[in-house]
A and B are shown apart, each in its own frame.
Chain A
Amino acid sequence: MTPQAADNAIVSVRDLQVGFQTTDRRAVVKAVDGVSFDVRRGETFGIIGESGSGKTTIGRALVFLLKPSGGAILHNGIDPLAMPRQQFQSHRRDYQIIFQDPNAALNPRMTILSSVLEPLELARAGSKAERLQRAHEAMDRVGLPLDLGERYPHQLSGGQKQRVVIARALTLRPKMIVCDEVVAALDMSIRGDVLNLFAELQRDLGLTYVFITHDLAVVSHISERIAVMYLGRFVELGPTEKVSERPLHPYTQALLSAEPRPLPSTMRGNNRIVLQGEIPSPIDPPSGCRFRTRCQYAQAVCAEKTPDWRELMPDHWVACHFADRPNFSPN
């Protein structure tokens, strides 16, 4: 297989598989099992899913913190795993990742400034004075006063700490950042500020984001396109407006209807689909369509045949045998 990447794709993922061996070495958990997509340059690509869906595993694989067990991940059309070691190391600077909990991401015994400087020092970028200047620029960029540089993480608020982590990721001037649940730990009044900062940085620096979250409101606010993940596979992928207003897959429909909305009772409507049960174990996923055990529309064919990943409408992909039936949507 020779993977082809679209021209405007900064990342191309083809039939990606990531497996983990269980501790008793008897089974392999396929956390990601055959996922293909492109991330377009300059866009925010949202990945949404529940715990155990494999969304974090994809994020880590995209920046090669995890090695794929099958398929390919191309950065700008090139396979980084084929690079010589040194080239791979410097290539990685362009593809950064930010995690959920800034407390775990920052060393409590390092000052803020030394945390922001560290990537530059590891990359041996420029002279000492230049490194300091770039660290200061990054802090300034995310709205952190420079005098915070002398402080330690415990002296900062949650929102400030997340800004430090963003500044640190920016120091090496990456092209793409994987953001894994980056606002989940923040209070709602601060969440808006940090999301605004991400949008502003994207506009000014031409960044591409892969935004991984379980929060529908956040992902549909910030993303141009959304992929919905269930048990190691994508079930739907399309423009945000289409996916969140006219979802094609029954799982997306259930996910959207399950979200509690801060609206008065008269505006909420009562078209909730309450799914039975919980996500099955990825060690032994259901045959055929993986969602069939919780799907209200499931038929015999769903157990026998894995639904094709097909482009039902322009740029709107879905994996469901019945997504094109006119009476299928509950809306």
Chain B
Amino acid sequence: MAADQPAQRGSEAVAGGPQALMSVRGLGIRFKTSHGVWQATRKIDFDIAPGERVGIVGESGCGKTITGLSILRLLPNNLAGLDGSIHFDGTDLASCSTRQMRAIRGRRIAMIFQEPMSALDPVFTVGHQIAETLRVHTGVTREEARERTLDMLRRVGIASPERRIDDYPHQLSGGMRQRVMIAASLICGPQLLIADEPTTALDVTVQAQILELLRDLSETSNTALMLITHDLGVVAETCTRMITMYAGEVIEDAAVDDALVRPLHPYTSGLLRSLPHLSPRHGKLPSIPGRVPSIMDMPNGCRFKARCSHAVAGCEKEQALLDAGNGRKVRCWRFRELDLPGALQHAATAPIAAMVTSP
């Protein structure tokens, strides 16, 4: 099988250095439609280290989900054009054949989605669906697959797995279904798990359980996690690094604490400011004026400038993702002169401060 072949190391200069598990460079997705070609994302650059937990945040339409899908090459080739490279452990996923990708998906990179019910097949037992991944990729015997499935169900915290393994998806609750999805995605021991809004459909008490599980499993098995979400709270609780996207571009890339305490991009700061957690109770909530530009009509230069209170002459020039030191990157040429408020400043007058500091 292709996955068992030695990785094509050294065939190209691997971006991101030897410490990166995955290096994405210049990734862009073009959708071909009857109205012409639409550039959905462009110039996406980021690295993920082995075992690292990275959050990709942004609002709907910013391109975070299709970036996740494009890494696994799940976008249809005839409709979506792919630019740039995705170096994963020595292999460029962007130039892999369909066959090579099939050996990678589920085994070395796995993905879970928002709605576990639509990801699970209602006519097969959950045990069958978890074991399927294992049997396709490793060819273990039926008995061994069942043994390892039971073990995996135990690890994701499902009570009495011997009974649950033969249940159908409809017999499980929403939280248990997402646990089953996590079991299926991790059973082959992938190096990277892409989770696209894995807790958005779940209740807050169940969400806390699932996020804790993802964090623990990622730590104990050294699986890198790429967590796609719109919820800055989820990223703060789960990840160590946060990549913010806006209108199809990466606009900030920093350690979570750094980005929350001192955001460098006006959009990141504006997002933090608009959260009700960080505003005085009953006060007027700050918002970002205007709307995300349409994919059909992207402005030149900085894509946020029409909504940005710090925009000046010069923002209409193309913006590069600049190195801001300490492993931080930002797509704003004014980042050195701007002193933008972060969560601490916003929270100073907010109820959340009282909640956190209460004994």
C-alpha gap A216/B277 in the complex (Å):
9
Whether B209 sits at the interface, judged by CB under 8 Å, is yes
Contacts A191-B274, A264-B261, A268-B236; A240 near B281 (Cβ below 8 A):
yes
Contacts of B320 in A (CB 8 A): none
C-alpha gap A191/B270 in the complex (Å):
13
Contacts of A256 in B (CB 8 A): 355
Contacts of A279 in B (CB 8 A): 203
Interface residues on A, range: 35 or more
Contacts A190-B287, A256-B355; A267 near B173 (Cβ below 8 A):
no
Whether B279 sits at the interface, judged by CB under 8 Å, is yes
C-alpha gap A50/B211 in the complex (Å):
17
Contacts of A50 in B (CB 8 A): 203-206
CB contacts under 8 Å to A, within B335-359, are 343-344, 347, 351-352, 354-356, 358-359
Contacts A255-B204, A255-B205, A274-B208; A264 near B256 (Cβ below 8 A):
yes
**In the complex the two chains form, is B275's CB within 8 Å of A262's CB?**
yes
Contact of A193 among B233, B237, B287 (CB under 8 A): B287
**In the complex the two chains form, is A261's CB within 8 Å of B285's CB?**
no
C-alpha gap A188/B231 in the complex (Å):
9
**In the complex the two chains form, is B205's CB within 8 Å of A254's CB?**
yes
CB contacts under 8 Å to A, within B53-94, are 59-60
**In the complex the two chains form, is A192's CB within 8 Å of B281's CB?**
no
Interface string of B249-290 (1 = CB under 8 A from A): 000000011001100000000111011111101101111100
Contact of A187 among B60, B211, B233, B276 (CB under 8 A): B60
CB contacts under 8 Å to B, within A174-191, are 187-191
SS of B interface (majority): helix
Contacts of A92 in B (CB 8 A): none
**In the complex the two chains form, is B59's CB within 8 Å of A188's CB?**
yes
Contact of A267 among B291, B356, B359 (CB under 8 A): B356
Contacts A192-B274, A214-B204, A217-B275; A260 near B234 (Cβ below 8 A):
yes
C-alpha gap A195/B286 in the complex (Å):
10
**In the complex the two chains form, is B278's CB within 8 Å of A262's CB?**
yes
Contacts of A266 in B (CB 8 A): 257
**In the complex the two chains form, is A263's CB within 8 Å of B236's CB?**
yes
Whether A245 sits at the interface, judged by CB under 8 Å, is yes
Whether A303 sits at the interface, judged by CB under 8 Å, is no
Chain B residue with the shortest CB-CB distance to A216:
B204
Contacts A188-B271, A245-B354; A263 near B260 (Cβ below 8 A):
yes
Interface residues on B, range: 35 or more
Whether B212 sits at the interface, judged by CB under 8 Å, is yes
What's the minimum C-beta distance from B154 to chain A, rounded to whole angstroms?
15
Whether B226 sits at the interface, judged by CB under 8 Å, is no
Contact of B344 among A188, A217, A264, A272 (CB under 8 A): A264
**In the complex the two chains form, is B351's CB within 8 Å of A267's CB?**
no
Contact of A189 among B173, B270, B282 (CB under 8 A): B270
**In the complex the two chains form, is A222's CB within 8 Å of B204's CB?**
no
Contact of B356 among A217, A218, A269 (CB under 8 A): A269
**In the complex the two chains form, is B287's CB within 8 Å of A192's CB?**
yes
Q: List 29 A-B contacts (CB under 8 A).
A: A50-B203, A187-B60, A188-B59, A189-B59, A189-B288, A191-B274, A196-B284, A216-B204, A217-B277, A221-B281, A240-B281, A245-B358, A255-B205, A258-B204, A260-B207, A260-B211, A260-B238, A261-B233, A262-B277, A262-B343, A263-B343, A267-B343, A267-B347, A268-B237, A268-B356, A274-B208, A274-B212, A275-B209, A278-B203
Residue positions of A touching B, CB distance < 8 A: 50-51, 157, 187-193, 195-196, 199, 214, 216-218, 220-222, 240-241, 244-245, 254-269, 272, 274-275, 278-279, 331
What 6 new A-B contacts, CB under 8 Å, besides A244-B351, A260-B211?
Answer: A187-B230, A189-B274, A241-B281, A261-B233, A265-B236, A267-B343
